[in-house]
Structure 1
Amino acid sequence: MIFLLVLAGLILLLYTGMPMFAGMLLFSVAGLLIVEGNIASLGEVVFGNINSPLLVAIPLFMLMAHFMVRGRVVDDLYATAHTLVRHLPGGLGVATVFACAIFAAISGSSVATALTIGAVAIPQMLKYGYSPRGAYGVVAGGGTLGILIPPSAPMILYGFVADTSIGALFLAGVLPGLLVSSIFAAYCMLTEGWRERHADPPRPRLPAPTLAEAAIAIRRSFWALTLPPFVLGGIYFGVFTPTEAAGTGALWALVIAALVYRQMGWRDLWSGGVEAARTSGVLFMIIVGAALFGYMLTKLNIPRQAVDLALHYQVSQVQFLIAMMVLIFILGLILESISIILITTPVVLPVLDALGIDKIWYGVLLTINLELALISPPVGMNLIVIKSITKAPLSEIDKAAVPYILMLILALALIIAFPGIATWLPSTTQFGQ
C-alpha cells in the first residue's frame, strides 16, 4: 500500500510537466528528508550508482546509431528486404518487418526505427495497395523491435539497476526478437494475402527475385548488414565486453557511413556526437534520480515488504510474473519505458530472488511489455511518430496498432510458458557458466 501511494505521488508530480529526472530527484530528496531527517547520504548514493563503466555503453551505442542514420543506409536496407521477399503474400509488409528488425539491431531505438523505416515504407505500401490501417500497423509493430533486438538502451538500464550482465541480456533478446518478427511477418502474410486474393480487381503478386537480383540487393546493403553480427558476434564469442562492443560498433559504423556510403562529413560527425552526448546526459540524470528513488524505497522497507507479501500468499513464479506484466502494462499507458524500469525494478528484484526467477528471463519479459507501452494509447510514442509522418488521425493509427498489441501479448505468454526462448542463448556462452 505504501508503494502504491509513493507511486501515485510520483506520477502526479511528473504529470505537472516537470522533467522526469527533476521530478524523481525532488521526490526522492523530500522522501529522504522525511524518513532520515537529512540528506547526508545523497552524494554517496549518487556517486556509487553513476560511477560504473557499464554506463559508457549508452552514449557509444547512441553514437553508433547516429552514424548509421546519417549514413542514410535505411533505403538500401528496405530495398534489399523488399527484393528478397516481394513475391510472398503481403511481401511489402514482410519486408517492412524485416527492415525494422535489421535497423533495430543498428539503432537500438524503437522511435528511430519507426521514424526511419516508416518514412520509407508507408508510402510504398500505400502505393502498392495496402490499406492505410495495414501500413500504419506494421510500422508501429515493427518499430517496437528497436528495444528488443540488441543493442537496447532499456536493456542496458535494466541490467545496470538489476546488476545483471548486459551481454547476457543482449543475447537473451535475440530469439524473442526473431519470434516477434516472425509473428508479425506471418500476420502480414495472412491478412494481406487474403486482401490480395479478394481485391477487385485482384492485386498481382510481384515475381520472385532471380539469383542475380538477390545477389545485387545483398551486395548493396552488405556493409550495413555486417554491423549487427559484428557487435553481437563479438559479445557471444567473448571477443569484447558490451562496453567494448559499443565502442568498436560506433567506430565500424563511422567507417561504413563515411567511407563506404560516403554520406557523412565533419559536420555530421560533430552533430551526431553532440546529439548522442545530449541524450546520454539526460539519461544519466534520470539514472541519478532513480538511484535516489530506489534508496528511498529501501529506507521505507518497501522491497522487504514486497518479498514478505509474495511469500505470505505463496505466489508462484508464473502468478507473480503475470501480475507484474499486468501492472507494467497499466503503467505503460501513462508512463514511458525508462520511468517504468527505474521505478519498478528496485522493488521487484528482491521478489525475483526470493521466488527463484531468472533476472534475464524477467528482463526480456519486461522489455516486451515496454514494447507494448510504445504502441498503447494514449501516449504510445510509435503512434505519435506515425502520425507525424502521415498526418493521419491518431484514432485510426490507434486501431491499426491493436492487432500488434495482441501479438505482443501472445509473445509474452509464449516466453512465460517457455523461458528457454529467452535464457537458452545466454546459457551457451560464458554468461551462463
Structure 2
Amino acid sequence: MSGMVLIVFVVLVVISIPIASSMAITSFLPWLADSSFAAGPVYLIRSIASGLDSVPYLAIPMFILSGTIMSKGAISEKLFDFISYFIGKKRAGLPCAVIITCLFFGALSGSATATVAAVGSMTIPVLVALNYDKVFATALVAVAGGLGVIIPPSIPMIVYATVAGVSVGDMFIAGIIPGILIAVCLMLYTYYYCWKHGEDKERINEVVDKIRAKGFGKLLRESFWALLTPVIILGSIYGGLATPTEAAVISVFYSLIVSLFIYKSLKPKDLIHIFKESVEYCLPALFILATAAAFARVLAILQMPQNLGIWIGSTFGTKMTLLIAINIFLLFLGMVMDTTPAIVIVAPILAPIVTSMGVNAVHFGIIVIVNLAIGFVTPPIGTNLFVASSVSGVEVLAIAKKAIPFLLFFLVALILITYIPALSLLLL
C-alpha cells in the first residue's frame, strides 16, 4: 500500500498535477483500495479543514502582505542608496550593495520572490546603466534573492517550525549567521567577477557622487524608516514583546504607515491591487498546507516514516553520511518542487530521523531551508529565475547558466552550515 501511494504521488507530480491536488488525490487512495482503512473521506476532509488551524500559520499571509507593500513602496530603493553611500566606490561596491540590500529586504519580507521583484526591478537597470553585464546583474539578484528565506523572518521557517514542532523564534535566530555567511560568500564571487571583468569607474563614481551629494544626514533621514523596519519586526520577537504572528501583523501596519504617509510612495487606491496580489500569493501556499496535513496523517497511518527511518538507519550508519545523502536529496527536491510543499512533505519524516542520530532539529531546519533556497535558482521550478526574467527580460536559461558560479559559493556555505552546527545554534 505504501509503495502504491508513493508511486501515484510521484506520477501525479511528474505529469504536472498541482502539488496540493496531488496530495489530496493520493490521500484518498488507501481508502478507495480498502474501505476499512482508518482514513476515510470524513476523516480526510476534517484533516484538510483543520490543516490550517495553527496560530503560526497566520503569520504567512501577513508577511506576504507586508512584503508586497514594501516591494511597491520604494523601501528597497532607500536601502540601496544608503548602502551605496558607504561602499559604492569600492571594487564591486554596487553589486555587493545589491546583495546587502537583498539581505535587508529579506529581513523585511520573509519571501525570496518578493526580494527578487522589489530589489531587482530597481537595481538591475542601475547596474546595466553602469555597464555591468545584464545577465550577470540579473543572476546576481536571482541568487541573492534566496537570502529572503534564510535571513529572518522567513515564511519557510514558519512552515518548518510548525510541522517539525520547534520554536519559530528559535528558527529565526538560527537563520541570522547562516544568512550573513551566504551573503559574504556571494560577495566574494562578486568581487572576483568584477576584478576579472573590470568596471566602469567613471560612471560608478558619478552615480555614487549623486547619492553622496545629498549628504549623510539627509540620506539617513530618508533611509531611517526603511532601516528601522527589521529592528521593529525582529526586535519585537527577540525582545519578547510579540510572537512571530503578532510581529507579522505589526509589519503590515508599519509598512502601510511608512509607504502611505512617510515616503508617500503608495496611494490608497494602490492598496486594492496590493491586497489582490497578496491573496494570489497566499491561497496556493495555504491550500498546500491544508492538503499536506491530510497527506501526512495518511503516511503516518501507513507507518511510512517509521519504515523509512529503519531503512535510512540501516543504510547510512553515521551522521556524516546521513547528512550528505539528505543534502543531495534536498538539492534535487528543490529543483523539482517549490519550498512550501517540499518542507511539509519531508520535514515530518526526516526531522525525527536526524534528531535520533544527534542532529539538532533547529540546525536541521536551517539545512533544509538553505538547500531549498538553492532550488529557487535551479531549473525547472526555479521561481527566482522566472521572477528575475520577468523583471529584466533576460531568458531563464541564460540567467541559470550565469548563476552557476554563485551557486557554487552558495554550496560552500551550505557545507559549512551542515557540518558546523554552531553557525546555526550559536545565538540560541
Same topology, TM > 0.5: yes
Instruction: Render the CA deviation track for 1:73-129: whole Å, top value 9, x for unaligned.
Output: 222222222222112111121111011111111121111211221122122212222
Please list, as runs of the form range in 1=range in 2, the aligned pairs for 1:254-265 lying within 5 A after superposition: 254-265=256-267
2:116 maps to which residue? 114
The 1:352–1:65 alpha-carbon spacing in structure 2 relative to 1, beyond 3 Å, is same
Q: Does 1:31 align with 2:30?
A: yes
Instruction: Render the CA deviation track for 1:279-326: whole Å, top value 9, x for unaligned.
Output: 333322111111111111112211111222233346222222221110
**Other structure's SS at 2:215 match:** helix
Please list, as runs of the form range in 1=range in 2, the aligned pairs for 1:110-149 lying within 5 A after superposition: 110-149=112-151
Aligned residues: 422
Q: Does 1:95 align with 2:97?
A: yes
The 1:215–1:8 alpha-carbon spacing in structure 2 relative to 1, beyond 3 Å, is farther
Contact 2:189 2:406 in 1 (8 A): no
Given residue 18 of structure 2, which amino acid in structure 1 is its aligned partner? Answer: P
1:338 maps to which residue? 340
2:227 maps to which residue? 225
What is the CA-CA distance between 1:368 and the residue it aligns to?
0.8
Contact 1:29 1:292 in 2 (8 A): no
Larger mean CA deviation between 169-178 and 25-34 belongs to 25-34
The 1:2–1:323 alpha-carbon spacing in structure 2 relative to 1, beyond 3 Å, is farther
CA distance in 2, matches of 1:349, 1:279: 27
Q: Does 1:416 align with 2:418?
A: yes
TM-score (norm 2): 0.91
2:193 maps to which residue? 191
Larger mean CA deviation between 390-399 and 137-146 belongs to 390-399
Please list, as runs of the form range in 1=range in 2, the aligned pairs for 1:192-341 lying within 5 A after superposition: 192-196=194-198, 206=205, 213-313=215-315, 315-341=317-343
**Other structure's SS at 2:41 match:** coil
What is the CA-CA distance between 1:356 and the residue it aligns to?
2.5
The 1:314–1:122 alpha-carbon spacing in structure 2 relative to 1, beyond 3 Å, is closer
Given residue 269 of structure 2, which amino acid in structure 1 is its aligned partner? Answer: R
CA distance in 2, matches of 1:283, 1:392: 27
Given residue 230 of structure 2, which amino acid in structure 1 is its aligned partner? Answer: P
2:395 maps to which residue? 393
CA distance in 2, matches of 1:185, 1:218: 24
What is the CA-CA distance between 1:40 and the residue it aligns to?
3.9
CA distance in 1, matches of 2:94, 2:359: 40
Which of the numbers 57, 64, 76 marks the counterpart of 2:66? Answer: 64
What is the CA-CA distance between 1:393 and the residue it aligns to?
3.1
2:168 maps to which residue? 166
CA distance in 2, matches of 1:53, 1:389: 34
Contact 2:135 2:394 in 1 (8 A): no
Which of the numbers 44, 51, 54 marks the counterpart of 1:52? Answer: 54
Larger mean CA deviation between 344-353 and 410-419 belongs to 344-353
**Other structure's SS at 1:61 match:** helix
Contact 2:376 2:382 in 1 (8 A): yes
Contact 2:69 2:274 in 1 (8 A): yes
The 1:8–1:369 alpha-carbon spacing in structure 2 relative to 1, beyond 3 Å, is farther
Structure 1: tracts of 5 or more residues without a match: 428-433
CA distance in 2, matches of 1:32, 1:169: 37
